[in-house]
Amino acid sequence: MEHEEVKVRRGPRSRLPIVVAIHSRALGPAAGGIRLRRYPDWRDGLADALRLSEAMTAKNAAAGLDFGGGKSVITLGPGVELTPSLREAALLDVGELIESFGGTYFGGPDVGTGPDDMVVVRRSTSRVFCLPVEHGGTGSSSIPTALGVFAAVRAGARHVFGSPELSGRTVVISGLGSVGALVARHVAAAGARVVVSDVDPVKRDSAYEWVDPEKALRTPADILVPAAVGGVLSPELVPELAAPLIVGPANNQLTADPVADELAARGIVWVPDFIASAGGAVYTLLREVERLDEAAANARVESIGATVSAVLDTARDKGTTPLREARQRVETRLTGR
Ligand code: PHE
């Protein structure tokens, strides 16, 4: 096991299996959101927590933050109805488990949770970020995450097309959740033709063109933005991809690291997800822990663009892949070498 500490507990109030996985605290206390999602089996939720916490180590390290990686997962089994009272019970349970780490892990929102949920978690632990502003937090991390993704998209476009301008470019966004919807707004405002998709048809928005979710990743485009859950870029899909640039906020987009080599071999530029998606962590941790003001924290989020440029340019110059370059940056921070 590569992880430092993993706790799995059936929530005493909710009776739901809850996981907190700490991958690394080498750079400081671990930080990472609380995911609330349906899984076929709680073990799938455990596997997700292990992968997601490892990705948080890379994300926080590559972004220059003095935080390690961790993640919480509340697993909802098939057929279990998520009533408001079950939700409250699960959030109190996860808070209690977070509290048991004695300040070496901090939670926040992730897929399935938001700032209002953090108010409930706060009743069990003070180690939680992104409370609404009226509760003393900095609110939704989706806003800075989307800002960072937009900076990454522009930097990717500069690398691939020679210009960061998006006007006239076709951008496919797969996943219209809290981050995907904001990324759509940014790229549309920049003049792109925006095509969106989501597994939930009620997300269909007349402001954008719509493509069915099973077709989204294969839709011809200049830029593909994976903004749903992970594990979408597989060896089977690579030959069918139809965009020269892939960059988006979904965590753990590759089914496995070697997919990065297959993407590169096809001439597709893939921006590592843990670089592109760091805006929420960067903004939240700098504001709530380092006490930076909004402008300074946003400037650090925008600097994700410079990191993406450096990673892509160096990979091209050295003939490696963006993933290798990005992993090298993480290694350097973790080991000083
Ligand atoms: N859950 C988000 C992520 O995956 C944002 C977040 C990071 C929230 C760190 C809290 C703490 O990056």
Q: Are residues 111 and 157 in the same domain?
A: no
Which pLDDT belongs to residue 89? 98
Would you please indicate which residues are annotated as catalytic (active-site) residues? Answer: 71
d(CA 283, CA 99): 23
Is the shortest distance between the CB of 144 and ligand 1 below 6 Å?
Answer: no
- 63, part of any domain: no
Which pLDDT belongs to residue 1? 66
- 208, part of any domain: yes
C-alpha pair distances (Å), 119 with each of 70, 115, 144, 270, 286: 20, 7, 20, 36, 20
In angstroms, what is the span from residue 19 Cα to ligand 1's centroid? 16
List CB contacts of 45: < 8 A, sequence separation 6 or more: 17, 19, 37, 39, 73, 74, 75
Is the shortest distance between the CB of 280 and ligand 1 below 6 Å?
Answer: yes
Q: Specify the number of domains making up the chain.
A: 2
Mean pLDDT value across the chain = 97
* Nearest ligand 1 atom, CA 129: 10
d(CA 218, CA 133): 40
CATH number at residue 40: 3.40.50.10860
Percent of the chain with pLDDT over 90: 97
Which pLDDT belongs to residue 206? 84
d(CA 148, CA 301): 5
* Nearest ligand 1 atom, CA 33: 1
List CB contacts of 274: < 8 A, sequence separation 6 or more: 55, 58, 59, 62, 251, 326, 330
Neighbours of 280 (CB within 10 A): 28
* pLDDT surpassing 70 at residue 40: yes
- Determine contact, residues 278/62, Cβ cutoff 8 Å: yes
Q: Which stretch of 189-198, 273-282, 310-319, 328-337 has the lowest confidence by average pLDDT?
A: 328-337
Q: Whose CA is nearest to atom 12 of ligand 1?
A: 281
Percent of the chain with pLDDT over 70: 100
Q: Are residues 51 and 188 in the same domain?
A: no
Q: Which strands sit side by side in the sheet containing 170-174, from one edge to the other?
A: 209-210, 193-197, 170-174, 223-226, 245-246, 269-270
d(CA 96, CA 85): 17
Q: Are residues 294 and 151 in the same domain?
A: yes
- 302, part of any domain: yes
Q: Are residues 147 and 273 in the same domain?
A: yes
Mean pLDDT calculated for residue range 232-258:
97
- Determine contact, residues 163/171, Cβ cutoff 8 Å: no
Q: Are residues 95 and 159 in the same domain?
A: no
Q: Whose CA is nearest to atom 10 of ligand 1?
A: 108
Mutate to test the pocket of ligand 1, among 56, 94, 118, 251 (most ligand atoms within 8 A of CB): 56
Q: Are residues 37 and 169 in the same domain?
A: no
* pLDDT surpassing 80 at residue 210: yes
Q: Are residues 225 and 77 in the same domain?
A: no
Mean pLDDT calculated for residue range 230-238:
96
Mutate to test the pocket of ligand 1, among 71, 111, 141 (most ligand atoms within 8 A of CB): 141
Q: How confident is the model at residue 47 (pLDDT cuts 50, 70, 90)?
A: very high
Is the shortest distance between the CB of 110 and ligand 1 below 6 Å?
Answer: yes
* pLDDT surpassing 80 at residue 184: yes
pLDDT tens digits, 283-313: 999 999 999 999 999 999 999 999 999 999 9
* Domain end point (choices 135, 154, 182): 135
* pLDDT surpassing 70 at residue 91: yes
Q: Are residues 151 and 239 in the same domain?
A: yes
Q: Which domain holds residue 75?
A: 5-57+68-135
Residue in 238, 231, 182, 235 with CA at minimum distance from that of residue 208:
182
User: Which tokens belong to 313?
Assistant: 């340019």
Mean pLDDT calculated for residue range 28-52:
98
* Nearest ligand 1 atom, CA 280: 5
Is the shortest distance between the CB of 31 and ligand 1 below 6 Å?
Answer: yes
CATH number at residue 270: 3.40.50.720
Mean pLDDT calculated for residue range 126-148:
97
At position 300, the amino acid (one-letter code) is R
Mean pLDDT calculated for residue range 83-97:
98
Strands 245-246 and 269-270: parallel
Q: Are residues 210 and 289 in the same domain?
A: yes
As for the ipTM of the complex, it is 0.95
* pLDDT surpassing 80 at residue 191: yes
C-alpha pair distances (Å), 135 with each of 13, 103, 111, 138, 225: 24, 20, 21, 9, 33
Q: Are residues 131 and 161 in the same domain?
A: no
Mean pLDDT calculated for residue range 240-258:
97
In angstroms, what is the span from residue 168 Cα to ligand 1's centroid? 32
* pLDDT surpassing 90 at residue 337: no
